[in-house]
Amino acid sequence: MPRTKNSARFTKYLCLDCRKTLKREVEGPATRTCANCGGEAVRMGHRFRAPALSKKQEWDVVLFLVRNGFYFDRVYVSTSTPGTQALLTYPTSMQEAKAFVEQWADYAQPLELYREQYISANAKR
Ligand SMILES: [Zn+2]
């Protein structure tokens, strides 16, 4: 399919080493090489907002979630009401993040598997 200007959408990748975000086209692998340090940059979901570099505690939470298989995508989970789903809200403190990772372990995508993915331009995010 020919690429048009309108289809060139961008998404964020986060380097886990230097915490820089890179903007890259939507279509592509789930991880890329960081332009700053050469480390691995991981594709982040739409809901990701990078904290200020000085906010160490916020970064600890982000990195903890990514290392546990959550990339700030929209994740819908089943609720106690049959046939209904709820959108996960990402935690903002480390205490919440630890509980979150345990509670939603079934929804995690381990980085080893995530890394293998290739996202096409038409994928819905
Ligand atoms: Zn880097």
Sheet strand arrangement including 40-43: 21-25, 10-15, 40-43, 31-33
Q: How far is the CA of 95 from the centre of ligand 1 (A)?
A: 27
Q: What is the reported pLDDT for 7?
A: 47
Q: Is 108 domain-assigned?
A: yes
pLDDT, tens digit, 9 for 90 and up, residues 77-97: 988 899 999 999 999 999 999
Q: How far is the CA of 5 from the centre of ligand 1 (A)?
A: 28
Q: How far is the CA of 94 from the centre of ligand 1 (A)?
A: 23
Domain count within the chain? 1
pLDDT, tens digit, 9 for 90 and up, residues 23-57: 999 889 999 999 999 999 999 998 899 999 999 99
Q: Is 67 domain-assigned?
A: yes
Q: What is the reported pLDDT for 9?
A: 82
Amino acid at 114: Y
89: which 2 tokens? 């809200």
Q: What is the reported pLDDT for 5?
A: 53
Q: How far is the CA of 33 from the centre of ligand 1 (A)?
A: 8
- Domain residues for the domain of 56 are 7-119
For the cut 70, the answer to whether the pLDDT of residue 3 exceeds it is no
Q: How far is the CA of 56 from the centre of ligand 1 (A)?
A: 16
CB 26 within 8 A of CB 10: yes
Chain centroid to Cα 23, Å, comes to 13
Q: How far is the CA of 109 from the centre of ligand 1 (A)?
A: 22
Mean pLDDT, residues 90-114 taken together: 95
Q: What is the DSSP annotation of the chain?
A: ----GGG--EEEEEETTT--EEEEESSEESEEE-TTTSSEEEE--TT--PPPTT-HHHHHHHHHHHHTT--S---EEE-SSTT-EEEPPPP-SHHHHHHHHHHTGGG---HHHHTT-EE-TT---
